[in-house]
Each structure stands twice: as C-alpha cells, then as structure tokens.
Structure 1
Amino acid sequence: MDTSELEELLSPTKEFLLTYFLPEKCYNYFFVDLNFLHVPCWKIVLSKTVGVWIILGTVMAQLPQLWKVLRARSASGISWWSVLLQVYAITGPVVYCITNNIPLEVWPWASSSNTTVVTPSKVIPAMQASSMLAVVASRVIQAGTNYYHGNTGQLSALSVFLVFTGSLALIFTSLQETGDWSSVSTVTHVVAACLSCLLLTQVVCYRNSRTKDKTE
C-alpha cells in the first residue's frame, strides 16, 4: 500500500479528529512528525475532549432519570419547578449557539459564557446569559425538595453523578476561556458544582429513608 492509498484510507479518521479534537498543526505533530510530547497540543486535545463530553453528557445525563421515572411510573420527589428550570437552562444556550451559527464543537465554551452578545433579538442573548442562574436555582429547589421530604424519591443517583461530573467539566472549560477563578462564569459553575455535590450527598444519605407523608 503506497502513501496516497494510506492517506485516502485514513482520510475519514483525520477529518473526524480535525473536526472535534485537534487542529491540523497538532495532527501533523502527532501523526506526521510522531511528536507525541507536544504539551500545547495535548492541552488542546484535552480541552476539546472535555467539550465533547459536556455535549454528550448533557443529553445522556438525563436518560437514567427518564428510565427510572418510566420504570417506576412515578416522579415522586422530583420538583417540577427544578425540571422546568433545567429545560430552560439547556434551551437558552442551544438556541443561542444555533442562532449565531456557532460550530457544535465550540458549544461548551459558548454556553458556559455569561457574556451577552448583540443579536437581532435581545431575548436569545438574555436567555443564554441567564441559563446558569437557572441551573443554580433548579438545584437549590431540588435540594430543598429532598430536604423537605426527607428522601430523594425517584431522583436517579446516576443522573445526579453525571450532572456533577459535567459541572466539573464546565469549570474546566470556563477556566480555559477566562483563566480567572474570580470571573462570574467560573464562580457560577463552581456554585453549580457544589450544589450538584449536595444533591449527590443527599442521594447517598437518604437512600434508605422512607417517604414521609408530605406533599410538595
């Protein structure tokens, strides 16, 4: 097999890597020059990998929760206000990215930013900017609901764990973007991660609790 045939064979793989994980110069460092010790490129790969994980995790994190609710035929213990705020928090950044033609692989950085950008409509940037506040509010409400009932009901431990890891990833992307722990974006993500940790702790602590005779 000559060089041209090999390049043609590897072309789909190269295109996939260049689209989602690394720029062409890093591809050349790794696969042409065989320089696997290029630290700046590894940082780029790590950053883009985290970005892909955030996008996939946003969708996949809710699947265990959906399955648990469907299997139990009950959503007891889950605050509907919390769910609505989560939907709002996801919708804002997605609409913002689509409206501004932001490439899919850049969505985590765009959605993690609280910067309002001028667009033909002021509603979409406002939704994007307030999305993280909605995330924080949704977790506060759910944590309060858990405390009030003394149990976590049908709240999925796996979903909570995936959301927590996603929050940690968002802190990483925010630091990559701003480089500042004191920025509004980073602080908001840290607060969201702490609240996710609180929910995870409640799931563990309340796992054997009986449902109290209370209504939300």
Structure 2
Amino acid sequence: MDLLQNSVIAPLQPYLEPIVSAIPEPVHDAVVSLIGKPCHSALLLDLDVTKDPACTSLAISKALGLAIVGASAVVKIPQILKLISSRSSAGVSFVSYALETASLLITLSYGVRNQFPFSTYGETALIAVQDIAVGVLVLNYAGRSAAAAAFVAVVAASVYALLFDQTLVDAQTMAYLQAGAGALGVASKAPQIYTIWREGGTGQLSAFAVFNYLAGSLSRIFTTLQEVDDKLILYGFIAGFSLNVILATQMLWYWNAPAPKQKASHTKVAEKVPSAKSTGASPKGGAKTPTTRRRG
C-alpha cells in the first residue's frame, strides 16, 4: 500500500484533488453509505490508502461486489441469445440450471432476511431471472413446453413462500435451507460437467457465462470474507468456485470440438446411407443390358 500511495497516488494528488472537490454531494453521500464516513474521509477526501488498511480492503470489497452485481445483469444474456439463434439446447443441462435457480433463490431470501449488504448478494436476483429464462428455452427446444410452464409455476410459488410470506418459512428453516443451498450450488454444476463430458463438446454453452461466473465466484469469496461473517455463505462460494474451475477447464479443452448436435446428425446420415455391395446378381426387369442377338 505504501508503494501504491507514494508511487501512484501522491504524484497524482494535484490533479485528483480538483476532481474530488467537483464530485456532486449525492455521490459523496452514496460513498459514505457504502464504506462509512471515516473511510470516505481517508480514501476520497484525503486520498490516502495507507491511513486505514481496513478501509482500503472494505472499499475494494464494495467495488468488487458492485461490479459483480452489475456484470450479473448480462452474464447469461449471451447464453440466452445463443439458444434462441440456434434453436437448440444441445450441450446445455436443464437440471443444472434448475438446481442453480433453487440455490440462488434461497441465497437471495437468506440475504434479504438477514439484512446483509446488497452488494454481497444482489447478483442472485438478476442471475436467477436469467436462469429461469434459460431453463424455459432449454425445455421448449427439447419439445417439453408443458414442463417449462410447470417450472415457472414452481419458481413463482417458491419466491412467494421465501420472500413475500415469511410466515411459511421461519428463520430456523431458512438457515437449514441456506445450508442446503451451498450443496445445491455445487450439485448444479455436476450435471453440466457430466453433459459436456458425455457429449464431448460444449454445444450451445456460452463461454462468456462460464468465465464470467469463474471470476464472479472468486470475487465473492473475497467480499464474503470482508463483509459477511457467515460460514454457510462462504463455504458455498468456495465449493462453487472449485466446480467453476472444472467447467472453465472443460470449455478450454473442448474449445474447437464440433457441436454435439452436428456430430449426432453426421452419425445418423452415415447410418441411413448403406455402403454399396456387389451381389453378382443380374439386373431385374426394366434395366437395359447389352445383347448379342442379331437382328434379322
């Protein structure tokens, strides 16, 4: 931190101070609400990252948390667009997305009920909405529209029970559910990992979503350590990061592999077109053959 302060910030202070003084008051208020008045004064007004190391760590954590929430708004959009453009769900596991949706809804409800800072769980709501969209598309393109409607109905009932009517699920049960959410989050990756391994390719799986998730889960471990003293949340993020590493490794390994659907179609064509075999039999009626009979 001393190196950063002396080598980077100190030489830039004459240029940064006029910029800081020109920042509107609502922005200062927002920073105070995020990191507190002492840290706001040390980091923004005094431009000193060495004054209180805890403030620097908190500011980094808040910045990462807000970045994760912002990125989560679009993290699954490439996956949704890829499914729509291809009209195929090859390589994408519905079970994986259904389990992840359940895990996200529980974590969202747990964060809201315990009044954790929004920057530590806010992305769960945005990603859950996108996961529901992906799940519906996967089922529809698999010809299971009735199952897609049932999936949406189950999600709606779960949201009502967990968030809007807290008498249905008490605090103790919510804690048990959160303990299970970590296991669900881990389990949600297993079907997708297996699907990629079984089909020998990533199909319509979005690389942007996979690598974005890897970075996000790593950042979440840091923000949880800084801002949330809850082992249930921390262990869930650590386990999720471990399996996201496997998914990212698969994405790199199968990067140039053909889509599973294309490979399947090639196999079917090969099965339908038998190889020509010589039987030695003469052509049947209707076929023109050479003759040695003389015409009178």
**TM-score, structure 1 as length reference:** 0.77
Query: What's the counterpart of residue 92 of structure 1?
Result: 106
Aligned match of 1:29 in 42, 56, 66?
Answer: 42
Matched, 1:156 2:206: yes
Shift of 1:69: 1.3
Closer, same or farther: CA 31–146 of 1 in aligned 2, 3 Å: closer
Closer, same or farther: CA 177–41 of 1 in aligned 2, 3 Å: closer
Q: CA RMSD in A?
A: 3.1
Identity of aligned residues (%): 27
In the alignment, structure 1 segments of 5+ residues that lack a partner are 1-5, 112-118
Contact 1:82–1:139 (CA under 8 A) maintained in structure 2: yes
Work out the CA distance in 1 between the residues paired with 2:111 and 2:104: 11
Output one character per residue of 1:78-134: Cα deviation in whole Å (capped at 9) or x when no partner.
1100010111111112122334444423437xx9xxxxxxx7523543333322211
Closer, same or farther: CA 9–162 of 1 in aligned 2, 3 Å: closer
Output one character per residue of 1:167-215: Cα deviation in whole Å (capped at 9) or x when no partner.
11122134335899xx66544433321211111111121122232439x
Work out the CA distance in 2 between the residues paired with 1:125 and 1:177: 19
Closer, same or farther: CA 177–28 of 1 in aligned 2, 3 Å: closer
Work out the CA distance in 2 between the residues paired with 1:56 and 1:106: 12
Matched, 1:14 2:28: yes
In the alignment, structure 2 segments of 5+ residues that lack a partner are 1-19, 126-165, 266-296
| Number of equivalences | 198
Closer, same or farther: CA 103–171 of 1 in aligned 2, 3 Å: closer
Work out the CA distance in 2 between the residues paired with 1:26 and 1:178: 18
Shift of 1:7: 7.8
Structure ranking higher on relative contact order (CA contacts 8 Å, 6+ apart):
1
Higher mean C-alpha displacement, 9-18 vs 75-84: 9-18
Aligned match of 1:213 in 264, 273, 288?
Answer: 264
**TM-score, structure 2 as length reference:** 0.58
